[in-house]
Amino acid sequence: MPYSVLVVDERPLVLARLVEPLREAGYDVTAATTFEAAKQRLAVNTPNLLIAASRLGLFNGMHLVVRGRIDHPAMAAILTAQVKDPLLEAEASTYGATCVLTPETSAELLALVSSTFALQPM
């Protein structure tokens, strides 16, 4: 059974750039463009991995990580950012998440996801 991944980004082009390579690599991928939609998906299905943008309208990806960790402590989490932010990186680490710059290439994304799954007990 393939790993499931929930990808959340309010920018449709970035979302597509993240989702398609994961699907092509065989992951079971669900996408959401809003905090609210992602929150609903987390309530219905527990993904093995949450990849969320740091900016999601009035909320941010960290809110999803925190909510996800409460209900699904084993879920892996990656927070993506447009700029390097040491405070966000530290906060993400507090919740067992990784904070990275949004991957620019499919190879970079797939390596990140692969290494995340290698580190997580599933």
Crossing angle between the packed helical segments 35-44 and 61-71, to the nearest 10 degrees: 10
pLDDT in tens, 82-105: 999 999 999 999 998 999 999 999
Extended strands (E) in the chain: 4-8, 28-32, 49-53, 76-81, 98-101
Q: Count the neighbouring beta carbons within 10 Å of the beta carbon of residue 121.
A: 5
Rounded to the nearest angstrom, the gap between the alpha carbon of residue 114 and the centroid of all alpha carbons in its chain is: 13
% pLDDT > 70, the chain: 98
- Listed in sequence order, the residues at least 6 apart from 84 whose beta carbon sits closer than 8 Å to its beta carbon are 101
Record the pTM.
0.93
pLDDT of residue 85: 92
User: In b/e form, how buried is each residue of 81-107, taking b as 16+ CB within 10 angstroms?
Assistant: beeeeeebbebbeeeebbbbebbeeee
CB 51 within 8 A of CB 108: no
By three-state DSSP, how is residue 98 classified? strand
pLDDT of 20-65, one tens digit each? Answer: 999 999 999 999 999 999 999 999 988 999 999 999 988 889 999 9
Q: How many residues does this entry show for the chain? A: 122
Confidence of residue 120 (pLDDT cuts 50, 70, 90): low
| 17: pLDDT strictly greater than 90 | yes
pLDDT band with cut points at 50, 70 and 90 for residue 118: confident
